[in-house]
Amino acid sequence: MGYAVKIYEAFRDLGEDKAQILADFVEYVESRKAATSLELKESELRLTKAIEEVRKEIKEVELKLSKEIEETKLEIEQVRKEIKDTELKLTKEIEKSKAETIKWMFLFWIGQVVSIIAIIKWLFIH
């Protein structure tokens, strides 16, 4: 036996109309409570589904980002290797330039010494 019937019987002495109104109200509240519980469960199921979808999307994004990070790391390593190769090439070119400069400086000094000796000989001979 529901609460509406119990209320009706308990308040029937106050009058059939009043008891019926009170019983109808209790029945309405009970039906709203049941409807609210059902709506709450439906909302909970929708939220649970939405949460799972968001978790799935987060995992997909994490995987995508991990892949992009790995690709970026590989690119960085490749650039580092190219920089080291370029550094080695530049070092070799600088060493070559130094050797060339020293060779030309030596030739210049020899030319200067020869010129000075020639000038000194010319001064003493004349």
**Helix or strand or coil: residue 83?**
helix
Looking at the structure of the chain, the number of domains it has is: 1
**Is residue 30, in this structure, part of any structural domain at all?**
yes
Cβ atoms 25, 11 nearer than 8 A:
no
Q: What's the token pair of residue 105?
A: 């400086």
Cβ atoms 15, 27 nearer than 8 A:
no
Cβ atoms 10, 24 nearer than 8 A:
no
Q: How confident is the model at residue 34 (pLDDT cuts 50, 70, 90)?
A: low
**Is residue 9, in this structure, part of any structural domain at all?**
yes
User: Which residue range is the domain that position 54 belongs to?
Assistant: 3-94
Residue range 46-72: mean pLDDT, rounded = 97
Terminal-to-terminal C-alpha distance of the chain: 149
In sequence order, what are the residues at sequence separation of 6 or more whose Cβ sits closer than 8 angstroms to the Cβ of residue 26?
3, 4, 7
Torsion of CA 23, 25, 30, 34, to 10 degrees: 140
Q: Say how far apart CA 6 and CA 92 lie, in whole Å.
A: 104
Provide, rounded to the nearest whole percent, the portion of the chain with pLDDT above 90: 61
**Is residue 85, in this structure, part of any structural domain at all?**
yes
**Is residue 125, in this structure, part of any structural domain at all?**
no
**Is residue 44, in this structure, part of any structural domain at all?**
yes
Residue range 75-95: mean pLDDT, rounded = 97
In sequence order, what are the residues at sequence separation of 6 or more whose Cβ sits closer than 8 angstroms to the Cβ of residue 4?
23, 24, 26, 27, 30
- The residue that leads in pLDDT, 29 or 94, is 94
Quickly tell me which residue has 């590989």 as its tokens: 74
